[in-house]
Chains A and B, each alone.
Chain A
């Protein structure tokens, strides 16, 4: 076991964990931040997406020891993020969600896309969101919500 200092949503947190523990489990089990979801555990579904040093990252496959000094942003911080706030509001107004399990990962990826590509094309959306699976099949509404968010962010 080792002790790690993590900067999560702007706050420094200290956790003691096995260095190989995936960041996802540190967030959920040690820090009790359960907004980030466990879907597959092998980076196949995107439900566990967080931003690590600004890069959308599958937290289920990143050992906590490899986080180092990079800041972590989770879904819990999106309400205070200028892009995240707009995306979450549009997610509600466009009624994107069905069961909702994958949606924190979807929103984290959508925010990363819009921060990098403010006016994404259909191809941009399909490629960037292609790693986020939704078993309810909300893809059409997700695409529309990203376009609406882009317009609102202007």
Chain B
């Protein structure tokens, strides 16, 4: 039996009137469940499975990510000017290659004029589908080709007005594209030696990206 007061402020739930006491209890339970879910980590499918990494853990993960992003295999195509760079000394791309309107070169001198859908080890030309420069909004270098500090790159990567509108989940997906994966399978130079690869493995890079995004993408000051 509910008193009239309970009836007046009671809620209709599933066609039945529920007392404020019950509503309060239900609310507490729902908030608790939501907090637990919110604090959880996500697995590859995006389902939370464990505790959310701390900010400190997120920052540590970011430093791992930055060690990859600042490696020549990645940063050579995140330039601040109208051309890509080449090799570990990051010199301006030879052969008068230019950025072009969409980061894929110009009409008669496209990226695809040399770069094919896979590495051409017999001739030393790297390749993967959709070879292109990152947009200028995603430059990770200054006008003198110096790599930007970790904090500045992090701000760029997390700014959705600059990064193509990517949220955390989309950033993880971006890091799983063939173009990004190529950095760990960059093929041979034309002298037959192997190109260098980033300092951590691809699996570590993806794990770091997940940890960082789960920690709400913290950036160093």
Contacts and interface: CB of A to CB of B under 8 A. Distances in A.
Interface of A: 18-22, 42-44, 49, 55-58, 60-63, 66, 109-110, 112-113, 115-117, 120, 124, 127-132
Instruction: Decide if the interface of chain A is mainly helix, strand, loop or mixed.
Output: mixed
Contacts of A116: 107-108
A66 B116 contact: yes
Nearest to B112: A55
Interface of B: 94-98, 100, 106-110, 112-114, 116-118, 120-125, 127, 190
A62 B107 contact: no
Contacts of A18: 122
A131 B97 contact: yes
Contacts of B94: 44
Given A43-B125, A44-B94, A62-B123, A128 B113 contact: no
Contact of B114 (A19, A58, A115): A58
B123 A113 contact: no
The 9 nearest A-B residue pairs measured at CB: A20-B122, A130-B96, A128-B108, A116-B107, A109-B108, A61-B123, A113-B108, A112-B108, A131-B109
B109 to A, nearest CB: 4
A15 B129 CA distance: 26
Contact of A62 (B96, B97, B116, B190): B116
Given A43-B125, A58-B114, A131-B96, A63 B120 contact: yes
A69 B116 CA distance: 13
A62 B110 contact: no
A56, A110, A112, A127 pick with most chain B CB within 10 angstroms: A127
A65 to B, nearest CB: 9
Contacts of A44: 94-95
Contacts of B110: 55-56
A60, A117, A128 pick with most chain B CB within 10 angstroms: A128
A127 B98 contact: yes
A42 to B, nearest CB: 6
A66 to B, nearest CB: 5
